[in-house]
Structure 1
Amino acid sequence: MGPTHFTIAYWCVLIAVLLPYACAYLAKSSGLGKPRKQGGFDNNDPRAWLAKQTDWQARANSAQANSFEALPFFIGALIIAHQLGAPQGRVDILAVLFVTLRVIYIAMYVAGLATVRSAVWVAAFLVNIGILLSALR
């Protein structure tokens, strides 16, 4: 049976779940506190307001969407690894590596460094595969 305590990998799930919300805040941050008539954030129609953003705000919003897209595989891989009795130390290290790569990915996305961003995305995806397969003996 899997772990009976809250592992480092489980804490990483919490962090990974919070990353898209950090991206959303970042995407909206330039418009917070400003009146809508002056281009401020429109909470009545947030998606339309975000769709009008450009430059780093638009990229932060795209990073939000991609961060949500990355969650199912990460969470599923961790659950499967735990259920199959993968070495906890290995799973924890890979989970921390995944979250670290996702933070770097977001930074590269917002900075507009597309090639580096894509390379980091591939690395994080491969780490997920490593988590999934970590129980193989």
Structure 2
Amino acid sequence: MTVALWCILIAICLPYLCIGIAKVRGGYGLRHNHDPRGFLDSLEGLGKRAYAAQLNSFEVTPAFAAAVIVAHLAGNAELVTINVLSVLFITSRLLFIICYLADWAILRSLVWFVGMGLIISFFVVSV
């Protein structure tokens, strides 16, 4: 397995890190287990931002996974390039989550654009 393929697994796991933060911060307990989505909708502050980061992570992960797989299948990009782009993407996602939790909205948006640029880069290097 390449580093890039391991990064797909990391990207798949990142939303669960976010939701863990949301549930811990929101005082989630077994009493909320009957309606966990209702509980998440009631969050405020850090918990709400962690939940939003989780949703965004679920939205972007399929695009990242597809980009990595396309780059591997196209065979035109150097493996080291694909691996570096993957690590940079995961780094951008971690920074995105940190910015979301810290409520740094402008920086968060800039980091999001960097991540999207990295996804596009997989296709560009695969030509």
* TM-score (ref. length: structure 2): 0.95
Q: Distance in 1 between matches of 2:113 and 2:92?
A: 10
Q: Could you tell me which of 106, 121, 126 is aligned with 1:130?
A: 121
Q: Could you tell me which of 11, 20, 40 is aligned with 1:16?
A: 11
The residue aligned with 1:27 is 22
| SS of residue matched to 2:43 | coil
Is the aligned partner of 1:117 residue 2:112?
A: no
The residue aligned with 1:100 is 91
Aligned residues: 125
Shift of 1:134: 1.4
Shift of 1:71: 0.8
Shift of 1:72: 1.2
The residue aligned with 1:81 is 71
* Partners of 1:81 and 1:133 within 8 A in 2: no
Q: Distance in 1 between matches of 2:54 and 2:33?
A: 17
Shift of 1:114: 0.4
| SS of residue matched to 1:53 | coil
Runs of at least 5 residues in structure 2 that lack an aligned partner in the other structure: none
Q: Distance in 2 between matches of 1:14 and 1:132?
A: 20
Q: Which amino acid aligns with 1:52?
A: S
* TM-score (ref. length: structure 1): 0.88
Is the aligned partner of 1:54 residue 2:44?
A: yes
CA deviation digits over 1:45-78, x for unaligned, max 9? 0110010010010000000000000011101111
Larger Rg: 1 or 2?
Answer: 1
Q: Which of structure 1's runs of 4+ aligned residues deviate more than 6 A? A: none
Greater percentage in helix: 2
Q: Distance in 2 between matches of 1:14 and 1:59?
A: 23
Q: Distance in 1 between matches of 2:123 and 2:14?
A: 21
Q: Percent identity?
A: 42
Q: Distance in 2 between matches of 1:27 and 1:43?
A: 14
